[in-house]
Structures are given as C-alpha cells and as structure tokens.
C-alpha cells in the first residue's frame, strides 16, 4: 500500500501527503507490532524486577515466621541494634572511600595512558583493564590467598623491608582497608576506561588555545579537561557509587563480614540475616536501607542522561 | 612570521622551547614509570593465581618464596579437570551463560528496535524505565526473589529453587536492561533513510530488523553479547542464594563452597579453579577487546 503511493509521485510535496494518508493505518499496525516486540521486556521487568522490589516492602512488615503483620517492627528492632548502625557506618565508609580512590586512580591512570604514544596505548589499556575482566569472585580468592594469615605473599615481601606481619583480614581496621583495597583494584579500571574515552573526545584545539594563553598543566586540567569531562565524571561516579554500595562478592569472600561484623555492609549483612539466619523479613528490611542512596544517585544519573539526550 | 617572533625575544623563547620538549620527554618517562607501577598492581593477583596453581601442596606449605615456582607441576590442573564435580560446575556455568545470552538477545534486540525506531505511546518512558531497572542491584532483589520462587514452589509444586535452570529466569534481570539500553543507542545511530528505504521497498518491520538493523549494528550486538556473557559467568550472589546441592552449582559458587572445606584451604587447587573460572572472560577479552571496551563505554556515551 505504501509503496504504491510512493510510485505514484516522486515529488516531495506528494510524498508528504501520501505519508499522511497512510499514517493512520500504519500507526495502528506499527504500535501493535512495537508493543509485541517490547512485551517480553515489559513482562520481565515487571515480574522479576518491579514486583520483587515492591514485594520486599511487604516482606519487611512481617514477623520472622511471615505469619503476622508487624508494621515497622523490623525497623524498630534494627534501630535498637548496635550491629545495624555499625553496618550503616561501614557501608558509607566503604562506598565513599572506594569510589573516591577509584575515581582518583582512574583519572590519573587515564592521563598517563593518554600521554604515551598512540600505538602503545592499546597494550597498556589491555593490561590495566584485566582486573575488571576477571569475575570478582575469582579475583577476590586470589586476594584472600595474598592476605593469608600464615602464608601471605605480601607479608613475605614486606618482611624484607622490616615491616610486618600485617593482619590483613584479622584486625578490624586492616580488614576494612583490605576490603576497600580490593574494591579499588577491581573498579579503578572501569573509571580509567571511561575517563580515557572522555579525554579522547576533548578537542586538541582547546589545549592548543590554552597553551598559547600560557596555561600551565594544572590550569589545563582545571579549566579545559575537567569541564569537558564533567558529564562523564558525574555519570561514572554515580554509577559506581550504586554498584559499590550494593557490593556483595568482595566482602563476602574476603572477610564474610568479620572480624566481629566489622566489615559487614548492607548486602552481606542482609544475606547473613535473611538467608543464613532464615529471617527473610529482617533481611528484606536491611536491604531496603540501600534504596534511599540508590534513588538519589539514580535521579542524578537520569538527569544527566536525559540532558544529554536533549543535546544530541 | 615565525622568524619574526623568534627574532623578537630570541633568548627567552629558545630556552622555553627547549625546556618544553624536555618537559615532554620527562612527562613521558614518568608516564611509563607510573603505568608500569599500576600494571603491576593490576596484574599481581592473576599472576599470583598462576604461580600458585603450578605448585604442589607440599611446596605451598613449605613456605618458600611465594613469588617463584621451584618445582612446577600440572597436578592441580589434572586433578580438577578430571574431577566430575568440577566439570559439572563448568558445564552448569556454560549452560547458564549460553542460555542467558540467547534469552537476553531474543528479548532485548526486538525491544531496543521498537524503542529506538517505532515511537509509540509510552516508548520514551519505557526506555528511561529500562535504564532505571539497570540501576537496581542484585543485592536488593535477592531476598524477595528467593521468597517469590519459594512461594511459587509451594503453590504450583514446581520446585525451581536448587535447580541450575532457575538462574535462567533470574540472570536476564541483570543483562536485559543494559543490553536493551546500549542496543537502543546503536539502533538510534543508524540513519533513518536506511529503514525508510526498506519500508518503501515493502519490507515488514521484522524484515527491517533482521535484514538491516542487525547487520548494521553488529558491533553493538557483539558488545552486548559479550556483556551478557561476562555478567552471567561472573554472577555470584544469585547462585549462592538459589542453588545449594553440589551438582547444581555454577563455577564461582562451586569453587568457593567445595574447595574450601572447613578450615582446610587447598590453595593450589583453589587458585587453579579460580584461574580456570576466570579464563573464559579473559579469553573473550583478549580476542575481542575493542568490542568489550565499546560495550563498557556505550552505556554512558551513547544514550
């Protein structure tokens, strides 16, 4: 039907009118087809993401046997427990310091990679991204072995410098440090790759203009690089904040929350309470505390994404 | 013009020029120095995995220099690759990943096509919604999902928990939103004239998708496939929650729950298992690095 209309007239004005006449039927068909094409996606998201998210709100209001409605009882119980506040504090320390270090290291390394001649960049980038490629559960095992109390390869090396033996996962403060270190190791390459892509998109002329105006390297970074990269920095940081805040694998394998709950974060504690401790409602309440931070980060990301969508 | 400029301030200019190229050379040297440091930091754990995997347990417990293999042996590899249990983990992981990649592509490619090209009521909201779903982490959903599947088991008698194929329902929640999102970006970048021409020639929407969009956006498709594969291969929390019997476990959980027995750590085997578990993503990365990186950056730079 449509192609008959097009064969009739090759002039532009005819084309527009014929398009309009066929529009109504086409739209009808098109929207049905489009709906069918997105239906599996809609079903998946609503049944396996949105419904469970709401279901956990419901679960959080039940008692341990899930037979009785207790309202905010689980939350009251949590607020009275010292471990809960420990977990809140540790989650914030963990997420914020890990993201800051990941962003800093990523930024610095991206600059170094950007500095070296183009043909060598591929090789460096390839090596530096390896931590991100290895499944975190597997690489954390290697870290656990590197941190082993009696055979630690780090302590072996450090002993030559007279430092030593460090209780990597045995002492509360060192355990927190180790967990953050592994997370930084795992996540920094992602920042590096994102920042490298952003650096490459900064037009060379801007640096030339800055150099002509006599800007030193610091001014070039502060007035040219950072403003040009602002969007990517914001999105990457917020995204990483979500992922780090919800992290499970690294803490679970490295310390499983110990020593004495001093490295538990929301995800690992929710697992301990909800699955291992068989108190599903309490576990659901614990994990719900991630929502506010996730929501705030998501709102900011969305604002940036839609802003860029409008620019394009 | 340039000569004039040099004539004007000959001494200072010349010195400045010389110092600048010297600065460049030093900056380059420092770059290489720090890059080497960071590369060492990045590669120590995987290299240490390899070193330990080549040691016998006698050598490990002898506490000799941990960074060197004095009596290399492949016994750890032989032992793992001939153990039925380990091969079962590998098979489960491979099956789950392959099925999840297929399911993901079947759901997200048509959806991305519809959202990118066929504007319909609510399509923009839906695209944003897909992106938001991607931001909902697994650690928020594992408890309600676990309870949901338990309830389904009670109601219908279909026991899905503790079967490896329950993961086929759950993993797509991690892969589909992101794959749809980056495919929307790739599809949106295809010039409109292309599909208009196809429609004019009488192609149906389905033909436009399979004959034009999929071939043209093939790099994006490969990137999305790699993403879906690596995510489902590496996922740890869901299999830990949903599967417990040893014949249903996938590789990451299997290694951690079976090779670590109580307080006895057989580190040679654990490292071998970890290395074998890390191998498929690493091999894919080694051969398809550009696609891998394209998929990684697409989420933020496209869209």
In angstroms, rounded to a whole number, what is the distance separating the alpha carbons of residues A198 and A201?
5
Neighbours of B131 (CB within 10 A): 21
Q: Is residue A52 part of a domain?
A: yes
Of the partner residues A35, A142, A287, the one whose CB lies closest to the CB of residue B120: A35
Taking CB atoms and an 8 Å cutoff, what residues of chain A touch B252? 135, 137-138
In angstroms, rounded to a whole number, what is the distance separating the alpha carbons of residues A143 and A117?
33
Across the range A275-301, mean pLDDT stands at: 85
Across the range B194-208, mean pLDDT stands at: 83
**B157 and B8 in a common domain:** no
Provide the chain B residues 13-72 that lie in CB contact (below 8 A) with chain A.
Answer: 27-28, 31-32, 34-35, 38-39, 41-46, 48-49, 52, 60, 63, 65-67
**A231 and A159 in a common domain:** yes
B36-73: burial string, b at 16+ Cβ within 10 Å, e else: eebbebbebbbebbebbbbbbeebbeeeeebeebeeee
In angstroms, rounded to a whole number, what is the distance separating the alpha carbons of residues A169 and A166?
9
**DSSP notation for chain B:** -HHHHHHHTHHHHHHHHHHHHHHHHHHHHHHHHHHHHHHHHHHHHHHHHHHHHTS-HHHHHTT--TT--SS---HHHHHHHT-HHHHHHHHHHHHHHHHHHHHHHHHHHHHHHHHHHS--TTHHHHHHHHHHHHTS-HHHHHHHHHHHHHHHHHHH----TTSGGGHHHHTHHHHHHHHHHHHHHHHHTS-HHHHHHHHHTT--HHHIIIIIIHHHTHHHHHHHHHHHHHHHHH--HHHHHH--SGGG--HHHHHHHHHEETTEE-HHHHHHHHHHHHHHHHHHHHHSHHHHHHHHHHHHH--
Give yes or no for residue B67 having a pLDDT over 50: yes
Q: What is the pLDDT of residues A50-94, one digit of tens each?
A: 899 888 888 888 877 777 777 787 888 888 888 888 888 889 899
Q: Is residue B85 part of a domain?
A: yes
**B137 and B187 in a common domain:** yes
**B91 and B28 in a common domain:** no
B249's tokens: 């476990």
Residue contact A297–B135, C-beta within 8 A? yes
Confidence of residue A183 (pLDDT cuts 50, 70, 90): very high
Burial status of residue A211 (CB atoms within 10 A of its CB: 0-12, 13-18, 19 or more): middle
Q: Name the pTM for this structure.
A: 0.84
% residues pLDDT > 90 (chain B): 17
- pLDDT for the residue numbered B125: 83
Give yes or no for residue A5 having a pLDDT over 50: no
**A11 and A110 in a common domain:** no
Across the range A119-146, mean pLDDT stands at: 89
**B139 and B20 in a common domain:** no
Q: Residue A153 in contact with residue B282, Cβ under 8 Å?
A: no
**B165 and B34 in a common domain:** no
Residue contact B67–A157, C-beta within 8 A? yes
**Enclosing domain of residue B171:** 77-301
**A260 and A126 in a common domain:** yes
ipTM over 0.90: no
Across the range B6-23, mean pLDDT stands at: 52
- The alpha-carbon radius of gyration of chain B (Å, integer) is 27
Residue contact B297–A197, C-beta within 8 A? yes
Maximum average pLDDT range among A30-34, A112-116, B169-173, B183-187: B169-173
Q: Is residue B49 part of a domain?
A: no
- CATH at residue B270: 1.10.3720.10
Give yes or no for residue A10 having a pLDDT over 50: no
**A187 and A156 in a common domain:** yes
- pLDDT for the residue numbered A65: 73
**B30 and B137 in a common domain:** no
**B25 and B163 in a common domain:** no
Confidence of residue A169 (pLDDT cuts 50, 70, 90): confident
- pLDDT for the residue numbered A97: 93
Q: What is the pLDDT of residues A26-50, one digit of tens each?
A: 555 677 778 888 889 989 988 988 8
- pLDDT for the residue numbered A185: 93
Of the partner residues B42, B144, B237, the one whose CB lies closest to the CB of residue A189: B42
In angstroms, rounded to a whole number, what is the distance separating the alpha carbons of residues B200 and A7?
9
Q: Considering only alpha carbons, which residue of chain B is nearest residue A297?
A: B135
In angstroms, rounded to a whole number, what is the distance separating the alpha carbons of residues B152 and B166?
12
% residues pLDDT > 90 (chain A): 10
Across the range A184-210, mean pLDDT stands at: 87
Q: Is residue B68 part of a domain?
A: no
Confidence of residue B47 (pLDDT cuts 50, 70, 90): very high
Q: Looking at the complex, does the CB of residue A260 fall below 8 Å from at least one CB of chain B? A: no
**A98 and A35 in a common domain:** no
% residues pLDDT > 70 (chain B): 90
Question: Which of B68-72, B149-153, B261-265 is least confident?
Answer: B261-265
In angstroms, rounded to a whole number, what is the distance separating the alpha carbons of residues A286 and A280?
10
**Single residue among A11, A35, A59 that ends a domain in this structure:** A59
- pLDDT for the residue numbered A13: 43
Q: Considering only alpha carbons, which residue of chain B is nearest residue A140?
A: B45
**B20 and B139 in a common domain:** no
Give yes or no for residue A223 having a pLDDT over 90: no
Residue contact A127–B120, C-beta within 8 A? no
- pLDDT for the residue numbered B93: 92
Taking CB atoms and an 8 Å cutoff, what residues of chain A touch B270? 141, 145
Confidence of residue A23 (pLDDT cuts 50, 70, 90): low
Residue contact A113–B205, C-beta within 8 A? no
What is the rounded average pLDDT for all residues in chain A? 81
Question: Which of A122-131, A300-309, B63-72, B124-133 is least confident?
Answer: A300-309
Helices (H) and strands (E) in chain A, counts: 17, 0
Taking CB atoms and an 8 Å cutoff, what residues of chain B touch A110? none
**A248 and A107 in a common domain:** yes
Q: Looking at the complex, does the CB of residue A6 fall below 8 Å from at least one CB of chain B? A: yes
**A249 and A195 in a common domain:** yes
CA torsion angle for B140, B142, B143, B144 (degrees, to 10)? 90
Provide the chain A residues 156-185 that lie in CB contact (below 8 A) with chain B.
Answer: 156-157, 185
Q: Is residue A182 part of a domain?
A: yes
Number of domains composing chain A: 2
Q: Is residue B30 part of a domain?
A: yes
**B207 and B90 in a common domain:** yes
**B168 and B110 in a common domain:** yes
In angstroms, rounded to a whole number, what is the distance separating the alpha carbons of residues A26 and A20?
10
- pLDDT for the residue numbered B261: 65
- pLDDT for the residue numbered A14: 43
Confidence of residue B4 (pLDDT cuts 50, 70, 90): very low
Q: What is the pLDDT of residues B271-283, one digit of tens each?
A: 899 999 999 999 9
Residue contact B130–A301, C-beta within 8 A? no
- pLDDT for the residue numbered A143: 92
**A296 and A230 in a common domain:** yes
Provide the chain B residues 74-103 that lie in CB contact (below 8 A) with chain A.
Answer: none
For tokens 């010292």, the residue is A82
Confidence of residue A102 (pLDDT cuts 50, 70, 90): very high
**A160 and A31 in a common domain:** no
Neighbours of B215 (CB within 10 A): 9
Residue contact B236–A275, C-beta within 8 A? no
- What 8-state DSSP symbol labels residue A11? S
- The alpha-carbon radius of gyration of chain A (Å, integer) is 27
Q: For residues B258 and B104, which has the higher predicted lDDT (pLDDT)?
A: B104
Give yes or no for residue A24 having a pLDDT over 70: no
Q: Tell me the three state secondary structure of residue A43.
A: helix
Of the partner residues B48, B123, B253, the one whose CB lies closest to the CB of residue A153: B48
For tokens 């460096």, the residue is A124
Across the range B26-49, mean pLDDT stands at: 88
Q: Considering only alpha carbons, which residue of chain B is nearest residue A137?
A: B252
Q: Looking at the complex, does the CB of residue A12 fall below 8 Å from at least one CB of chain B? A: no
Q: Is residue A64 part of a domain?
A: no
**A162 and A55 in a common domain:** no
In angstroms, rounded to a whole number, what is the distance separating the alpha carbons of residues A90 and B110?
42
Q: Is residue B60 part of a domain?
A: no
Confidence of residue B6 (pLDDT cuts 50, 70, 90): very low
Across the range B143-164, mean pLDDT stands at: 85
**A217 and A99 in a common domain:** yes
Give yes or no for residue A156 having a pLDDT over 80: yes
**B103 and B24 in a common domain:** no
- pLDDT for the residue numbered A77: 84
Give yes or no for residue B303 having a pLDDT over 60: no
- CATH at residue A226: 1.10.3720.10
CA B7 to chain A, closest CA, distance in angstroms equals 18
Confidence of residue B263 (pLDDT cuts 50, 70, 90): low
**B164 and B113 in a common domain:** yes
Q: What is the pLDDT of residues A232-279, one digit of tens each?
A: 888 888 888 888 988 898 998 888 877 888 888 889 998 988 888 888
**A119 and A23 in a common domain:** no
Comparing CA positions, the residue from A236, A231, A221, A234 lying closest to residue A191 is A236
Number of domains composing chain B: 2
Of the partner residues A128, A236, A305, the one whose CB lies closest to the CB of residue B42: A128
Residue contact B146–A30, C-beta within 8 A? no
**Enclosing domain of residue A22:** 2-59
């Amino acid at each position: 039907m449509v192609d008959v209309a097009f064969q009739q007239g090759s002039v532009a004005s005819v084309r527009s009118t014929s398009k309009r006449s066929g529009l109504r039927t086409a739209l009808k068909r098109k929207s049905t087809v489009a709906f069918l094409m997105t239906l599996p996606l809609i079903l998946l998201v609503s049944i396996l993401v949105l419904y469970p998210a709401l279901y956990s709100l419901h679960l959080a209001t039940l008692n341990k046997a899930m037979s009785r409605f207790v309202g905010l009882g689980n939350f009251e119980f949590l607020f009275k427990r010292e471990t809960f506040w420990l977990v809140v504090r540790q989650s914030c320390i963990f997420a914020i310091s890990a993201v800051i270090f990941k962003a800093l290291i990523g930024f610095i390394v991206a600059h170094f990679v950007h500095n070296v001649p183009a043909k060598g960049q591929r090789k460096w980038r390839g090596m530096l991204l390896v931590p991100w490629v290895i499944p975190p559960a597997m690489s954390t095992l290697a870290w656990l072995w590197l941190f082993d109390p009696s055979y630690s390869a780090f302590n072996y090396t450090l002993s030559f410098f007279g430092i030593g033996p460090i209780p990597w996962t045995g002492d509360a403060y060192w355990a927190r440090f180790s967990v953050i270190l592994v997370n930084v190791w795992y996540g920094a390459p992602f920042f590096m790759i994102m920042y490298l892509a952003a650096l490459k998109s900064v037009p060379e002329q801007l640096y030339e203009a800055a150099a002509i105006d006599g800007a030193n390297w610091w001014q070039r970074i502060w007035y040219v690089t950072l403003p040009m990269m602002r969007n990517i920095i914001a999105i990457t940081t917020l995204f990483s904040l979500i992922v780090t805040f919800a992290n499970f694998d690294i803490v679970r394998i490295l310390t499983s929350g110990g020593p004495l709950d001093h490295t538990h974060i929301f995800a690992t504690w929710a697992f301990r309470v909800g699955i291992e401790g068989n108190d599903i409602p309490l576990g659901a309440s614990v994990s719900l505390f991630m929502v506010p931070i996730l929501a705030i980060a998501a709102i900011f990301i969305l604002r940036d994404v839609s802003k860029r969508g409008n620019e394009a | 013009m340039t000569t004039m400029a040099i004539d004007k301030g000959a001494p200072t200019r010349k010195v400045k020029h010389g110092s600048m190229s010297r600065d460049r050379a030093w900056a380059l040297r420092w770059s290489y120095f720090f890059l080497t440091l960071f590369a060492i930091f990045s590669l120590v754990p995987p290299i240490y995995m390899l070193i330990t995997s080549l040691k016998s347990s006698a050598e490990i417990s002898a506490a000799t220099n941990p960074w060197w293999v004095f009596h290399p042996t492949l016994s750890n590899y032989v032992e793992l690759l001939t153990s039925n249990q380990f091969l079962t983990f590998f098979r489960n992981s491979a099956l789950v990943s392959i099925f999840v990649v297929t399911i993901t592509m079947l759901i997200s490619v048509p959806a991305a096509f519809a959202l990118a090209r066929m504007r319909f009521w609510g399509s923009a909201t839906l695209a944003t919604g897909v992106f938001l779903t991607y931001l909902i982490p697994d650690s928020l959903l594992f408890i309600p999902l676990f309870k949901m599947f338990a309830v389904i088991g009670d109601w219908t008698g279909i026991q899905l928990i503790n079967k490896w194929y329950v993961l086929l329902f759950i993993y797509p929640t991690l892969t589909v939103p992101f794959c749809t999102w980056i495919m929307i970006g790739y599809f949106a970048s295809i010039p409109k004239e292309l599909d208009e021409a196809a429609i004019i020639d009488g192609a149906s929407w389905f033909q436009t998708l399979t004959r034009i969009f999929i071939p043209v956006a093939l790099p994006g498709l490969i990137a999305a496939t790699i993403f879906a594969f690596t995510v489902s291969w590496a996922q740890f929390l869901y299999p830990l929650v949903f599967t417990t019997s040893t014949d249903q476990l996938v590789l990451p959980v299997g290694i951690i729950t079976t090779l670590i027995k109580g307080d006895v750590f057989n580190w040679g085997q654990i490292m071998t298992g970890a290395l074998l578990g890390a191998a498929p993503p690493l091999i894919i990365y080694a051969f398809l690095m550009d696609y891998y990186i394209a998929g990684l950056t697409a989420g933020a730079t496209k869209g």
